[in-house]
């Protein structure tokens, strides 16, 4: 690849080989040729004078694409479809006269886009299922490890490491359901003609509408689709592009939230993303372990979310049967959305497969806050032993303020428990107070919630998609 011109980082650094192939020139233009073959086959079957030899020649040259010649033709015609019609025709001169017969540019352009987008979304679904699998394994492994819960990023009631992971998975399940739905709505544009009226085919088949319907059905089936858009203009409805990219943006939202949580946890030193042996965190600060993969997810996810507006705007400004102001935008915004989504799913799988859980740090952070959270339990136990509830409540309030001042203003450890144990009014030994403070007593139903969630919500998805499970990720950077 030339080093003196700009190259897209999505290609060089982030997107997988599978996704890059789906949006490659070879995939696009060989699909154009497959569509021309399907059209010729259907027309021959319905009585148009096309020979088996012509179809055989077309089929034998589907993948033999002369890109230099196509570029020359496009410079001459300023029309990409006609450039490839002529390039294909030069390769198979015996069939040149029947290529693209009755069709308009959208026949190959739009049908190919739908084929490519569907294949790309199927890859996204596979990655999504594998991410859900990896995260569910993590959630089950750590379902009973207590950790501080946070609201407003302030310490709140305890949860467990596994329970927190289920919140990430729950978002991804919503995304899975959306992707699955969008895939179920894919259909071809079909054989519709210049403005969607099939007028050119009326001429070709001498106004035999049944033959036109059969041609449309033949081509759809030949290309692997059961249905098409019943009515179109020159193009399939651009609103469908918006539906597709919205499903990708949903994944971006979920993974941005996930990656942000990981970044915060890494700052707390509780859970970290994988850090390779020779990885450098900072060019200046050699000790640093930056959450660079999570940061990359956030960065690329924002691009998808921002791209969400492109197909929405394109759909909203189409004039009548079509305008061409959709074309340049779609060439950029939709493939880039897929490539970004492909990248962030790969990174998320990589992170979730190699989480570093620092259990001692997690416990230390719990014990720095738990004394404040469990004062009511201590109060109840002291009352059982004959203490005065109102008197003890006031003492706890005062001791809590003093302990908090010691932590925040003096930078010392939380000594609230020691203060309570030293006061005979509570009639509690320090060991008895510590028994009250066992973190596992304060996680509510978190452990069972994890088990129930995996059993009831996750396993049915994994079972339904067991043929998709098993996806190796190798990050380029």
Rounded Cα distance, 168 and 399, in Å? 38
CA 467 to chain centre: 19
Position 4 scores a pLDDT of: 86
- Residues 336-385: pLDDT tens digits? 999 999 999 999 999 999 999 999 999 999 998 898 888 888 888 899 99
Annotated catalytic residue within 203, 282, 316, 413:
282
- Exposed, middle or buried, 98 (CB in 10 Å: 0-12/13-18/19+)? buried
Q: Which of 30-39, 294-303, 408-417 has the lowest mean pLDDT?
A: 408-417
- Residues 126-183: pLDDT tens digits? 999 999 999 999 999 999 999 999 999 999 999 999 999 999 999 999 999 999 999 9
Q: Which fold has domain 375-436?
A: Ribonucleotide Reductase Protein R1; domain 1 (1.10.40)
Q: Which of 31-40, 94-103, 221-230, 395-404 has the lowest mean pLDDT?
A: 395-404
Rounded Cα distance, 191 and 1, in Å? 38
Q: Which helix (H) or strand (E) holds 154?
A: strand 154-160
* CA-to-CA dists, residue 110 to 81, 187, 233, 265, 370, angstroms: 12, 11, 11, 45, 60
Rounded Cα distance, 330 and 104, in Å? 19
> Is 60 exceeded by the pLDDT of residue 6?
yes
Neighbour count for residue 17 (Cβ, 10 Å): 10
Residue of 310 and 379 predicted with greater confidence: 310
Position 286 scores a pLDDT of: 45
Position 11 scores a pLDDT of: 93
The CATH code that applies to domain 106-359+456-468 is 1.20.200.10
Position 412 scores a pLDDT of: 87
Percent over 90 (pLDDT), the chain: 86
**Strand, coil or helix: 15:** coil
| Averaged pLDDT score across all residues of the chain | 94
pTM for this prediction: 0.93
Give 50's pLDDT tier (boundaries 50, 70, 90). Answer: very high
Rounded Cα distance, 233 and 213, in Å? 17
Position 66 scores a pLDDT of: 97
> Is 50 exceeded by the pLDDT of residue 45?
yes
Contact 102, 42 (CB under 8 A): no
Active site residue 282: yes
Position 1 scores a pLDDT of: 57
Annotated catalytic residue within 2, 152, 184, 431:
152
- Residues 406-453: pLDDT tens digits? 988 998 888 988 999 999 999 999 998 888 889 999 999 999 999 999
Assess if CATH 2.60.40.2470 describes domain 14-101.
no
Two structure tokens written together for 269: 């030193």
Strands (E) located in 330-422: 356-357
Within this chain, domains 106-359+456-468 and 375-436 share the same CATH topology: no
Q: Map out the domains of the chain as residue ranges.
A: 14-101, 106-359+456-468, 375-436
Give 285's pLDDT tier (boundaries 50, 70, 90). Answer: low
DSSP 78-139: S-HHHHHHHHHHHH-GGGGGGTTTT--HHHHHHHHHHHHHHHHHHHHHHHHHHHHHHHHHHH
- Residues 228-282: pLDDT tens digits? 999 999 999 999 999 999 999 999 999 999 999 999 999 999 999 997 655 555 5
Rounded Cα distance, 411 and 148, in Å? 20
Q: Write phi, then psi, for 186 (nearest 5 degrees).
A: -65, 140
Q: What is the mean pLDDT of residues 71-93?
A: 96
Contact 298, 253 (CB under 8 A): no
> Is 80 exceeded by the pLDDT of residue 215?
yes
Give 318's pLDDT tier (boundaries 50, 70, 90). Answer: very high
> Is 70 exceeded by the pLDDT of residue 288?
no
Percent over 70 (pLDDT), the chain: 97
Position 283 scores a pLDDT of: 46
Two structure tokens written together for 297: 């997810």
Active site residue 152: yes
Residues ≥6 apart with Cβ < 8 Å to 316: none
């Amino acid at each position: 690849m030339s080093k003196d011109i700009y190259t897209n980082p999505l290609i060089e650094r982030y997107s997988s080989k599978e996704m890059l192939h789906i949006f490659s020139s070879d995939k696009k233009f060989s699909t154009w040729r497959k569509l021309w073959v399907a059209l010729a086959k259907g027309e021959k079957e319905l009585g148009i004078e096309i020979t088996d030899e012509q179809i055989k020649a077309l089929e034998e040259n589907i993948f033999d694409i002369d890109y230099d010649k196509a570029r020359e033709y496009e410079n001459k015609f300023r029309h990409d479809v006609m450039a490839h019609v002529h390039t294909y025709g030069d390769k198979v001169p015996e069939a040149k006269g029947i290529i693209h017969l009755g069709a308009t540019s959208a026949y190959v352009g739009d049908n190919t886009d739908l084929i490519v987008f569907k294949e790309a979304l199927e890859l996204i679904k596979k990655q999504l299922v594998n991410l859900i699998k990896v995260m569910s394994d993590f959630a089950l492994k750590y379902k009973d490890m207590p950790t501080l819960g946070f609201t407003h990023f302030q310490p709140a009631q305890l949860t467990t490491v596994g329970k927190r992971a289920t919140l990430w998975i729950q978002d991804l399940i919503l995304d899975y359901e959306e992707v699955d739905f969008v895939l179920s709505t894919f259909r071809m544009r079909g054989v519709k003609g210049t403005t969607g009226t099939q007028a050119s085919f009326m001429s070709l088949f001498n106004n035999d509408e049944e033959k036109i319907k059969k041609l449309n059905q033949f081509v759809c089936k030949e290309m692997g689709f059961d249905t098409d858009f019943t009515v179109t203009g020159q193009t399939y409805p651009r609103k469908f592009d918006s539906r597709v990219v919205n499903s990708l943006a949903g994944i971006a939202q979920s993974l941005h939230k996930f990656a942000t949580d990981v970044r915060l946890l890494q700052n707390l030193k509780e859970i970290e993303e994988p850090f390779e042996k020779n990885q450098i965190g900072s060019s200046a600060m050699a000790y640093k372990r930056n959450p660079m993969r999570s940061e990359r997810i956030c960065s690329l996810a924002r691009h998808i979310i921002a791209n969400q507006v492109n197909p929405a705007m394109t759909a909203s400004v189409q004039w009548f049967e079509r305008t061409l102001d959709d074309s340049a935008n779609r060439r950029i915004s939709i493939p880039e959305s897929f490539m970004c989504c492909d990248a962030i799913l790969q990174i998320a799988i990589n992170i979730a497969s190699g989480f570093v859980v620092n259990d001692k740090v997690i416990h230390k952070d719990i014990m720095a806050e738990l004394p404040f959270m469990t004062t009511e339990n201590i109060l109840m136990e002291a009352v059982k032993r004959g203490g005065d509830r109102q008197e003890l409540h006031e003492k706890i309030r005062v001791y809590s303020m003093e302990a908090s001042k010691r932590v925040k203003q003096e930078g010392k450890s939380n000594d609230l428990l020691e203060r309570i144990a030293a006061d005979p009014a509570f009639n509690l030994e320090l060991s008895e107070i510590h028994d009250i403070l066992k973190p596992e007593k304060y996680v509510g139903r978190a452990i069972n919630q994890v088990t129930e969630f995996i059993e009831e919500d996750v396993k049915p998805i994994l079972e339904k998609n067991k043929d998709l499970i098993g996806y190796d990720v190798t990050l380029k950077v």
